[in-house]
Amino acid sequence: CTLATGCMAKENDRGFSVTTAVNCTATSNANNGLSAGTAIHCTASLNGGIGISGGTATNCTAQSNGSHGIQVSMLAQNNQCTSNGTGAGGGAGIAVSTERVRVDGNTCTSNDWGIQLINSNTISDAFIVRNFCANNLMAPTNGNGATGNYDFNREFQRGGGKTYGNI
């Protein structure tokens, strides 16, 4: 399917995979919820794996997924991610999987990690700006910042990344 508008995948082995998803919902699927090149105004909750994965996620909500709430390779913007990482392997509100990604204006609370860079090469090319991360469970791997809340401004700039205005 190329374009899905207003679709729902509920209680399947896997949710669904499309090129573009608009106003779609994936809930209570045993594995991943929604895979899309672009996801806009979508919701993923209670999926066993990743809630929303793909290139771009904008104005989406991911809550209580077993792995990451949202995993992107290009852009995560204005998303709400809460209580993700409920499965055995844990997960982030937003996981960044490739280089040259923009993570902008997201709220990530009560996840295992707020925003996590999966690929070690990602830090120098990530652009992370205007995000709010709080009450996440895991301490940053470098030991800086409050528990579960990464100090983006200090650490990404030191690694060559560009970050501005994160809380």
pLDDT, tens digit, 9 for 90 and up, residues 99-147 = 788 999 999 999 998 888 876 655 667 788 888 888 888 754 433 333 3
Contact between 70 and 54 under an 8 Å Cβ cutoff? The reply is: no
Q: What is the pLDDT of residues 156-165, one digit of tens each?
A: 433 444 444 5
Please say whether the beta carbons of 37 and 21 come within 8 A.
Answer: no
Higher pLDDT, 143 or 46: 46
What are the tens digits of pLDDT across the range 55-82? 999 999 999 999 999 999 999 999 999 9
Strand-strand pairing, 113-117 and 162-164: unpaired
Return the closest-CA partner of residue 43 out of 15, 67, 19. 15
Q: Give yes or no for a contact between 97 and 118, defined as CB atoms under 8 angstroms apart.
A: yes
pTM, whole model, 2 decimals? 0.85
Please enumerate in sequence order all residues whose Cβ is within 8 A of that of 149, keeping only pairs 6 or more positions apart, or say none.
114, 133, 134, 136, 140
Q: How confident is the model at residue 153 (pLDDT cuts 50, 70, 90)?
A: very low
What six digits make up the tokens of 110? 């009560």
